[in-house]
Amino acid sequence: MNLSLLMDPVYLILGSAFVSVLALVLWLISVFTDRSESDLEARLTAFTGRTTTTRTEIANAILRDGLTTAQTMLGRILQRFENLPLLFRQADSPLRIEQFILLCIISSAAAFILLFALQFSITGLTIGATVVFLLPWIWLLLRRRSRLRSFEKQLPDALELLSRALRAGNSLASGLNAVASEMPQPIAGEFRTVYDEQNLGLPIDQALRNMLQRIPNMDLQFFVTAVSIQRQAGGDLAEILGKISSLVRERFKILGQVKALTGEGRMSGVVLMALPIGLFGAVYVLNRSYVMMLFEEELGRKMIYAAIAAQFVGGYVIHRIVNIKV
């Protein structure tokens, strides 16, 4: 790395321009993601036809009118991906899709400029920029996975609370409100959405199906199906919900036992996946010229590609072996 390159006027100008654009985009995102108005208030506004205009809304409208070119183009492209809005909804992303894409592009461009200033090769520039572009998507998927798992763990307690509310003589809507008020996030927010939708006139079974679309969960599907059948054929819904809650708890118990039995296999998979990388790092430190033959020789590069492919195949096979569905 030649540090004198960082003092070159060209790189200083590029760096200053990048920092300025990034600061502008982050400021605009902070303006556009103002969540002072709740989802319920937004739906009530649309339902009653009431319109209110404040100075903040006027300023936001002016800013949006002045900075919609990039987001409009991205929006037209992203219309082809119908599942993206659902993905962002399931992950409870603080950013809209267009803003998220813009941040990915800016981060990737920043990584490209930095690696270019450090005199990386074209391959290194491409790989680095691609990895930085994909990192926010990985974060989004992990956030979605964590939120869905939290909902799954909270569902038995929510069903039990709803069952107790029905046994006490409350209606199903009151039980949904109790879950939304007393349970933590994320299940409270989803049940609050169901409660608000049925308050605005949507049939409660349809509101529950909407929640099932937002939260693809097998146990939740049992609950939604039970409510739909009970509303059509009758029956003791409190007893049904109690049995579903017990069933979910037993499934979690069995799942814990399965994880304990497959712990050795998962640990073996981690060791086998990390061992080649660790050995490569150790040999690189001890004898760098020996390892660099893998990158300088054509046969060595083919061996690297084959090793990476074998790593992915081995990891997938181990995951399929130890991942037992209950």
As a three-state string, the secondary structure of 17-68 is HHHHHHHHHHHHHHHHCCCCCCHHHHHHHHHHCCCCCCHHHHHHHHHHHHCC
Q: What's the pLDDT score for residue 246? A: 87
The answer on 134 and 17 residing in a single domain is yes
The answer on 60 and 19 residing in a single domain is yes
The answer on 238 and 273 residing in a single domain is no
Does some domain include residue 257? no
Mean pLDDT, 10 residues at a time, the chain of 326 residues: 48 54 53 44 46 49 49 52 80 87 89 83 80 90 92 90 89 89 90 91 88 88 88 84 87 83 82 86 85 83 86 85 75
Q: Rounded to the nearest 5 degrees, what angle is found at the Cα of 245, between the Cα atoms of 243 and 251?
A: 100
Calpha distance 137→322 (Å, rounded): 26
The answer on 74 and 183 residing in a single domain is no
The contacts of residue 190 (CB under 8 Å, 6+ apart) are 151, 211, 214, 215
In total, how many domains does the chain have? 3
The answer on 93 and 52 residing in a single domain is yes
Residue that has been written with the tokens 């981690």 in this structure:
270
Does some domain include residue 211? yes
Q: What's the pLDDT score for residue 20? A: 54
Estimate the crossing angle of helix 187-199 against helix 39-48, to 10 degrees: 10
Q: Which of 124, 146, 168 marks a domain boundary?
A: 146
Q: Widest CA span of the chain, in angstroms? A: 79
Calpha distance 41→47 (Å, rounded): 10
Residue 40, both tokens: 């319920």
The answer on 138 and 14 residing in a single domain is yes
The CATH number for 240's domain is: 1.20.81
Half-sphere exposure of 157 (CA within 13 A, CB side): 15
The answer on 195 and 182 residing in a single domain is yes
Q: What's the pLDDT score for residue 251? A: 85
Q: What's the pLDDT score for residue 35? A: 41
Provide the domain limits for residue 179: 147-251
Residue 189, class by beta-carbon neighbours within 10 Å (0-12 exposed, 13-18 middle, 19+ buried)? middle
The answer on 273 and 152 residing in a single domain is no
The answer on 165 and 119 residing in a single domain is no
Q: Which of 111, 146, 181 marks a domain boundary?
A: 146
Calpha distance 14→274 (Å, rounded): 38
Does some domain include residue 107? yes
Map residue 198 onto helix, strand or coil: helix
The answer on 157 and 124 residing in a single domain is no
Does some domain include residue 200? yes
Does some domain include residue 256? no
Q: What's the pLDDT score for residue 236? A: 83
- Give counts: helices (H), strands (E), the chain: 15, 0
The answer on 76 and 201 residing in a single domain is no
pTM: 0.64
DSSP secondary-structure letter at 153?
H
Calpha distance 284→286 (Å, rounded): 6
Q: Which of 92, 120, 146 marks a domain boundary?
A: 146
